[in-house]
Chain A
Amino acid sequence: MESSTWVERYRPRNFEDFKGQIEIIKRIRAFVEHKNVPNMLFAGPAGVGKTSVSLIIAKELYGENWRENFLELNASDDRGIDVVRNTIKDFARTKSIGDAPFKIILLDESDSLTRDAQQALRRTMEQYSNSCRFILSANYSSRILGPIQSRCSVFRFKPLNKEEIREIITNIAKHEKLRVDEKAVDALFELCGGDVRRLGNILQSCASVEKHITSELIYKVASYADPKEVKDILNLAVKGEFIKSRDLLLNVMLRDGLSGIDMIKQIQKEIWNLQVDDVKKLFMTEKCGDIEFRMVEGSDEFLQMEALIASFCKK
């Protein structure tokens, strides 16, 4: 059955269809052809093909019944040590099905695994290396413990360049009968960078409105995902209405499931649209940077956000 989401419908099914990451694909194809895949770490930003490559590897190795020998887990949802001790271990220690030489576990977003979980993973990777191989994907390889990195071949995925993005857009447009303006391609590239998942989502949302894709439409649709209240939060803060500002902030964060970092990104962009003088804008931006840094080091995101808006309240 064909998926309703374009992200799935146009996900590359084999190495030939894959766009970008040419060198990486070459290496991995060689691994697959020799039916010998090491433990691997795929590092790189979102939507550049880390998961797609993993799925292709599984399909090439196992054919039709790939799902039986392939376990996909998302560490950002289950990030504790229990996942490693239970789910992963149970899958890893049983024999692979059919004539497959080993099973594969894809651990997506593994940089969000806790330290303890990573420690536990390290032994598991070794103990079951006969029956199971790991693919870890991560945005930041620096958050993966050294001992784990040393047990993996590390591949660095790059964002897709504009030509590659254009090819993907052209392909989708052909199948979905869309007319995409040249300026719209620029807009998509500007908004998504090299993130193909985001590209697919925005394009499909646009197409649900109209088949003729213009840059205006794209900017409009892309902004749907941004909370509308950011401006109000900032204006309240600048006016010195701290309590109102923070109540709104907490509600928006909880309602939309946004992290402190998500929120600070939005605020930092919105500052430049405010009706305050430029020197203050610069000061506010500097504060964003300070607080973002503290947030990474600290423990309470919401408190850090409060510190940020309190600094805006000051005359």
Chain B
Amino acid sequence: MLLIDKYKPVSTSEIFGQDKAIAELKKHIISKKPVIILGKSGTGKTSSVYALANEMNYEIVESNSSNIRNKDGIINFLGSASLQQSLFYNGKLILIDEVDGIAGNADRGGVSAITEIIKKSPFPVILTCNDNQSKNFSSLKKLCKIINFEPPSYNVLFEFLKDISTKENLGIKEDLLKSLAIKSNGDARAALLDLEFFRYGDFSDTSFLLRDTTHELSNVLRVLFKSKNVRAISEVFDSLQEDLDEINLWVDENCPKEYSGEDLASCFDSLSKADVFNGRIIKRQYYRFLVYRRIFMSLGVGLAKKEKKIGQVDYSRSSRILKMWIWNNKNLRKKSISEKIGKVIHASNKKTFKEFIFYKHLLNDKSFINELELNEDEIEWINKN
């Protein structure tokens, strides 16, 4: 049994970080108001509906992207079900999952059929949706109450993974759990899937999950840093399926181990140029610049050396993201105080954070603390610093 199945929430108490949204959802089910749940994948939208139905003893009739969802498809599937009373349950729920997945052409008439069902069904109708920019969302949202499912923070995900790792006796180091939590980007399902890799592995080597791409990436880096053959460099670089931003982080982390002095400067000069093209791509959405970004990242880096360095080097993952996360946590209180100072003096949090030193001496002053309405945690932080 996969971890995602084993830890699939059965009751709403097992879904973390969504208490408010779930309470609201429940209220609307009881009052039979149509609802659209909006949130990224893995935030617990569908699970919450099932858990609630389970707790309230409701039957669920579900349609998701795997069904054909043109007009006839929806009416056939949901139409009759949406009118008949349930025999064995307290009530019935119509769940239309992933409404942004209803395709324009293939599912012609699907959205208007859903509109009909929302209007006519005597049972509560619940829609879920990932993308608030989708056309279907904007046409359906007018009929429904919108409930937002925010992705949980890294901290919450980390605790969740730690909990499961302990229950399963996986013995995974905290650092790795942290980076899994960061990598998942708020998606609990993805985090749990990643954890799956560690269940049957040997944990003396903690880079198990990442070994595959690490291995591949290491080979590419080796060619990049050791070869001066233009063809070899381009071929190897093009064969790599990784995202360019990820490769960029790897080259950035490891080039100082291979290059020094003028070579290192020239290597970073190429990376810097590649980054300028990337910035232009982002700002102007002009994707032809990708060609130049790739060339500077591959050949620019490869041809930066006069001589290759002899000897094997172990390449490592960039520590930058982890450091950002750590500092972010360390600065949590300072940030929240800066925010309150910003409110009082009409300046941005960023500015007050940077100029914190000018306000720090005032924080010994009771009246300033009252003016800012600091809470206990923040006052404790001040006393410690």
Contacts and interface: CB of A to CB of B under 8 A. Distances in A.
A202 interface: yes
Contact of B280 (A7, A72, A297, A311): A297
B262 A315 contact: yes
Main secondary structure of the interface of B (DSSP, over half): helix
Contacts of B163: none
A262 interface: yes
Given A51-B346, A55-B346, A314-B265, A257 B365 contact: no
Interface residues of A, number: 52
Interface size class of B (residues with CB under 8 A): 35 or more
A191 B9 CA distance: 59
Interface in A208-255: 208, 224-225, 240, 242-243, 246, 250-251, 254-255
A8 B327 CA distance: 30
B261 to A, nearest CB: 6
B260 A240 contact: yes
A7 to B, nearest CB: 5
Contacts of B31: none
B358 A243 contact: no
Interface stretch (A26-34, A127-135, A151-159, A300-308): A300-308
A192 B323 CA distance: 33
Contacts, number: 142
Given A298-B276, A298-B278, A314 B344 contact: no
B362 A306 contact: no
Contact of B371 (A4, A46, A109, A255): A4
B275 interface: yes
Interface string B304-348: 000000000000000010011001101100000001011011111
B368 A5 contact: yes
Given A5-B344, A5-B362, A225-B357, A298 B368 contact: no
A232 to B, nearest CB: 18
A161 to B, nearest CB: 23
Contact of B350 (A72, A225, A243, A257): A257
Contacts of B264: 242, 310, 313-314
B348 A3 contact: no
Contact of B323 (A55, A251, A300, A310): A251
A205 B357 CA distance: 9
Shortest beta-carbon contacts, A-B, top 3: A254-B327, A307-B272, A4-B368
14 contacts: A4-B362, A72-B346, A108-B348, A205-B357, A225-B355, A240-B261, A242-B256, A242-B260, A254-B324, A298-B279, A300-B248, A303-B272, A307-B271, A307-B272
Given A46-B351, A74-B349, 13 more contacts: A3-B371, A4-B362, A4-B368, A5-B362, A76-B348, A77-B348, A77-B350, A205-B357, A208-B362, A257-B331, A258-B354, A311-B268, A311-B269
